[in-house]
Amino acid sequence: MKHINQLELLQSISFKQDTTPNTRDENLTKIYAQLFQQKLLVAQKKEYWTQQVTQHILDYPLGKQFVLEEVAEKLNMTTRSLQRKLKEENTTFLEIHNHIQFERARLLLGNSTMNISEISDLLGYAEPSVFRRAFKRWTGQSPRDFLKNV
**SS3 (DSSP) at 33:** helix
Angle between helical axes of 93-111 and 128-139 (0-180°, round to 10):
100
Delimit the domains of the chain by residue range.
Answer: 48-149
Options 1.10.10.60, 3.30.450.20, 2.120.10.70, 3.30.1370.100; CATH for 48-149 is 1.10.10.60
What confidence tier does 132 reach under pLDDT thresholds 50, 70, 90?
A: very high
90 vs 41 pLDDT, higher one: 90
- Global pTM value: 0.66
Average pLDDT, rounded, for the chain: 79
The 10 Å Cβ neighbour count of residue 86 is 20
Given pLDDT bands bounded at 50, 70 and 90, which one contains residue 150? confident
